[in-house]
Amino acid sequence: MTEPKAKSERRAAVLFPMPLPEAFDYLVPDGLELEPGDHVVAPLGKRMAHGVVWALKDGPGERALKTLEGPAGGAPIPEGTRRFVDWVAKYLVQPPGIILRSVLRSSEALKPSPTETVYTRGSSEPARMTEAREKVLDAVEALGEASAADLAREAGVSSGVVKGLAEAGALTGVTRLVDPPFDEPDPDREGLPLTVMQAEAAGKLRRLVQAGGFQASLLDGVTGSGKTEVYFEAVAEVLRRDPEAQILIMLPEIALTEAVLSRFEKRFGSEPALWHSGAGPKARRRTWREVAEGRARIVVGARSSLFLPFTKLRLIVVDEEHDPTYKQDEGLHYQGRDLAVVRAKLEGASVVLASATPSLESLTNAEAGRYVHVHLPGRPGVAVLPAVGTIDLRETPPENGRWLSPPLLEAMRETLERGEQSLLYLNRRGYAPLVLCRKCGHRMMSPDTQSYLVEHRYTGRLVCHVTGFSMPKPKRCPSCQAEDSLTSVGPGVERVAEEVRHLFPEARVEIYSSDSSSGADIVARMEQGEIDILVGTQIAAKGHNFPNLTLVGVIDADLGLAGGDPRAGERTFQALVQVAGRAGRAERPGRALLQTHQPEHEAIQALVAGDREAFLDAEIMAREALGLPPFGRMAAIGFMAMNPKAVEDVAADFAAKAPVTDGVEIWGPAEPPRAIVRGWHRRRILVRADKTIDMSAYIRAWRSRVKTPPSVRVSIDIDPYSFI
């Protein structure tokens, strides 16, 4: 135990970013001034650990305490962020340290920005000119300013040549920050002209911002209605009203940030700070520090950006709020959209949820008056919503071995002849979702996982999209050893693209999925008309504006309707509306054709008829009758172990100790569809409760009754979205 450095009458409760049950008390050394939120170093076990002061208390306490080592530096974690951590931990039934770990994502950001010396052309000429020196001076002219290493690399010389030119006065060195502050956005910069409908919607959002305090609104606008330009007006209003205000714009996909960044720069004259998993350590360090110091005014980020330490958060916009990728299903389970509303409430900020296909949860809140419902029912100018039709595959199926039906092929020919673009949508990556042996029927599966291997023909590999495992496609069946017997079953986007290239050899065809290495380049070329037919997964259906795209063909409209997911119908309807909405966004009218074996399904019928309300009414009735969200509450308790008997025993013991409470139903334990992942055997319990039940409190009380062995992992998911 570390001896106290001095007699102290103050204690600090320190929370560590670890799965610990609570903050630990420490003595504060005399003379050390601390405030809640400060970063400190404290002894934890046999080592020193970084923690955050969660509270300060008077008196030394009733037992001997260790003493804080000292401050760790860096901007403190603001009160709003600390309250958010506590709320999320309680709601998700997690140790608060796990939530704090999501906040402290960049330890390097606690230090001041590093500096570097950059060089520009000096006023003197070197007394002796050499070929190497001339190359460096040419590099300066080309680059404008650069570090010695960059200049040496560009010129193909050693850094000593650069140093010599600096000493001779031919180069001038200037010290600058490696992580400079972000440029200030200009709220008065002129944006795109708004239609009467858009101006009315923007006015409502501005008035909500002006009212101050927590305000929640649902910006409900059809695809292509200009929702981004409308919520830009709310952003501008916040910036005008408070020179220190911060704004968070959440996006569901990293791939959308490039398009949004360019629109931000045009509207506000500067790029916002970025935060997502694809950003490098340097970019994340810079954004975290600038947010914590209160200098980053606008942040555009993925769901994890909710945990940034904002000092004065005044507006959160959740774009495409319905998107299922806002739900994190690995590690810490949370729904980003819902936590955005909570964070806004805790911060006294406004929150705008924007979508062309709002989630049933958000629509229910709007109809109940908890959210202000802001409508954008039409597209601006001459652009109109696409006509939607179905192709009944029972009546007009594709040729054997093919996936495009005759009516869709004819529509594609007509579109090509008019010089317009087509988008073929299939939410399956790779070439084929299943590879099996024609001789013995063996199905290629990922090792230790109940998941089929997907063929990626362009790389010649079989890939598991659950674990990331990949292997070359074997020449022989691993079961019966038959040679060249492995065949691909079903289509992925690569296989559809192969068919398109065969049938339309003159067309410029591209594939766009999360496997694409140059997504931004594909989007840019599609916008510029350099692609005739784009074959894409759901990433192609989100937020893009392709002016010359007039035909959308959905290869398998039934794909999302299978399985036991209670949100399957809603998700299918949303996905189809979003992808159909890519067509006809400019002067030329568009159309969407859905290949389906179930043209009578209510989701497909509603889309064809343009009757969203009819679909929602049916969906609401079904959910309400079953007591499913948003009319009830759900939770999932997952169990994983390498030993199948251990996981069965623990899951059964857990279920047996469930508190008996009226209004709560417990299903399981049972095997999920993927009962083995990476060699871990899985079981799951599903819990459904009436809306009056505090699900988090119920699960917390239940969890406290059961002691589980370290060999079995237990996970808790409040309001689960994934049922596989």
The span from the CA of 161 to the CA of 152, in Å, is 8
User: What are the start-end ranges of the E strands in 393-494?
Assistant: 421-425, 434-437, 454-456, 461-463, 470-472, 486-489
- The domain made up of 632-718 has a fold known as Alpha-Beta Plaits (3.30.70)
For the segment 50-100, what is each residue's pLDDT rounded down to a tens digit?
999 999 988 766 678 899 999 998 999 999 999 999 999 999 999 999 999
Assign residue 97 a region: left if phi > 0, alpha if psi is -120 to 50, beta otherwise? alpha
Give the pLDDT confidence score for residue 173 in this predicted structure: 85
The span from the CA of 78 to the CA of 289, in Å, is 13
CATH number for domain 196-376, candidates 3.40.50.970, 3.30.750.24, 3.40.50.300, 3.40.50.920: 3.40.50.300
Residue ranges of the alpha helices (H) in 504-643?
Answer: 519-527, 568-580, 602-609, 612-626
Those residues of the chain that have pLDDT short of 50 are 1-6, 382
Residue 172's identity, in one-letter code, is: T
Relative orientation angle of helices 519-527 and 257-268, to the nearest 10 degrees:
60
Strand, helix or coil at 615? Answer: helix
* Terminal-residue alpha carbon distance, the chain: 47
Give the pLDDT confidence score for residue 5 in this predicted structure: 44
How do the domains of the chain map onto residue ranges? 10-104, 115-177, 196-376, 387-428+491-621, 632-718
Give the pLDDT confidence score for residue 563 in this predicted structure: 55
Cβ atoms of 16 and 39 closer than 8 Å: no
The span from the CA of 456 to the CA of 453, in Å, is 9
From residue 140, how far is each of 117, 143, 589 by CA, in Å?
A: 14, 5, 51
Give the pLDDT confidence score for residue 243 in this predicted structure: 87
In the CATH scheme, what architecture does the domain 10-104 have?
Answer: 3-Layer(aba) Sandwich (3.40)
Give the pLDDT confidence score for residue 427 in this predicted structure: 84
What order of strands is seen across the sheet that includes strand 146-147?
146-147, 115-121, 171-177
Q: What are phi and psi of 291, to 5 degrees?
A: -65, -45
Report residue 437 as tokens: 């042996």
Q: State how beta strands 632-641 and 713-718 pair.
A: antiparallel
Element (H, E) at 555: none
Cβ atoms of 11 and 56 closer than 8 Å: yes
**Taking the CB of residue 442, how many other CB atoms lie within 10 A of it?**
17
Residue 611 C-beta-side C-alpha neighbours within 13 Å:
12
Residue 364's identity, in one-letter code, is: T
**Residue among 322, 305, 324 at smallest CA distance from 365:** 322
Separation of CA 100 from chain center: 19
Assign residue 385 a region: left if phi > 0, alpha if psi is -120 to 50, beta otherwise? beta
Residue 349's identity, in one-letter code, is: A
Cα-Cα-Cα-Cα dihedral sign, residues 200, 205, 206, 208: positive
Q: State how beta strands 470-472 and 549-554 pair.
A: unpaired
Give the pLDDT confidence score for residue 681 in this predicted structure: 92
Beta bridge partners of 593: 389, 553
Cα-Cα-Cα-Cα dihedral sign, residues 32, 33, 39, 44: positive
The span from the CA of 386 to the CA of 54, in Å, is 54
Q: Which residue has the tokens 């059964």?
A: 652
CATH number for domain 387-428+491-621, candidates 3.40.50.80, 3.40.50.2020, 3.30.420.480, 3.40.50.300: 3.40.50.300
From residue 34, how far is each of 306, 383, 565, 589 by CA, in Å?
A: 26, 59, 50, 64
Separation of CA 78 from chain center: 24
* Cβ-count burial 53-76 (b if 16+ within 10 Å, e if not): bbeeeeebeeeebbbbbeebebbb
The C-alpha torsion from 390 through 393 and 396 to 398, rounded to 10°, is: 120
On the question of a common fold for 10-104 and 196-376, the answer reads no
Strand, helix or coil at 352? Answer: strand
In SS3 terms, 533-546 reads as: EEEECHHHHCCCCC
